[in-house]
Amino acid sequence: MVQKFNALDKTTFISFDYEVLKEILRLAPGAVTQYLNGDKTPEQLKAAGIRGADYHYSVFQRHPQWIRQARQNNIMLNAWTVNDTATIDWLLANRFDAITTNEPALVAKRAARHKEIFGNRKLVFAEEFNQAGSPDRNLWAYDTGSHGWGNHELENYTNGDTANVFIKNGLLHIRALKDNGQPKGYSSVRMVQKKGFLYGRVDVRAKLPAGRGLWPAIWLLPDVFKYGGWPASGEIDLMENVGYNPDSVFFTIHTEKYNHVKHTQKSMGIYSHSLYSRFHTYSLEWSPD
């Protein structure tokens, strides 16, 4: 019927059945097809001639590398069914071609906001940790010492000791270790990105370590303390987790007026049962307002 009415170029065929899509392509070469079931990689779809990955958004969150593969193989990306702001923003940030939703007004509002902030964006820094060994010293430095950093921490921070930080199989590993050679019996690292930025978006993908007493964090401090020492020049905590509270992750802003010393910090926590078992993407959108 689609061919009869000359509508092939206006039609997208979607199915949970992989074999059905292959049969459609046999009957109508060049038809636009998208697969729904979420168990095929973009590379597999490309090989079969299927044009799109139309998966539940959780599939892409479990397999974020498929987003990059889809771009490389010219596979369209659609996610369903997305009705919450956080997931909509995540899909927009990852430049999905379509979002299936019951809340079109919300998607339109978030898309307009995203375009206003990031319409002219360009990538200024990316680190995928694909080179095995130690992190690139041209990109990363280390805060060192065992003075507790004002937080009564027990670990001594090493200058990139390979026992504490290394890259393997495309992943950066940061480890806190029992270390009798250190003053208080522990060692770890504080990695510092050398390239700073003002405004834009940063995404950090991480799986957190489990254990009482651990305090993994991703946070931003100024390159120059223009307005004075902490907290006058500010701090943005993109992600903090404490081991005695294993099901929550926190996001916090510190300033002279709002900080934890005064118990006035601006903070928010969210619940997740998979902080230690899955990778999550922690994102910051920073604009002048």
Is 235 assigned a catalytic role?
A: yes
Of the residues 43, 240, 256, 285, only one is catalytic, namely 240
Would you call 116 a catalytic residue per the annotation? no
Alpha helices in 94-214 (DSSP H): 104-118
How many helical (H) and strand (E) elements, i.e. helices and strands, does the chain have? 6, 18
The CA distance from 239 to 192, in Å, is 15
3-state secondary structure of 123: coil
Q: Are strands 76-80 and 52-56 parallel, antiparallel or unpaired?
A: parallel
247: alpha, beta or left? (left if phi > 0; alpha if psi -120 to 50): alpha
Catalytic residue among 43, 103, 127, 235: 235
179, HSE (Cβ side, Cα atoms, 13 Å)? 20
Q: What interhelical angle do 85-93 and 104-118 show, nearest 10?
A: 40
Who's near 14: CB < 8 A, 6+ residues apart? 33, 34, 35, 36, 52, 54
Give the catalytic positions in this structure: 235, 240
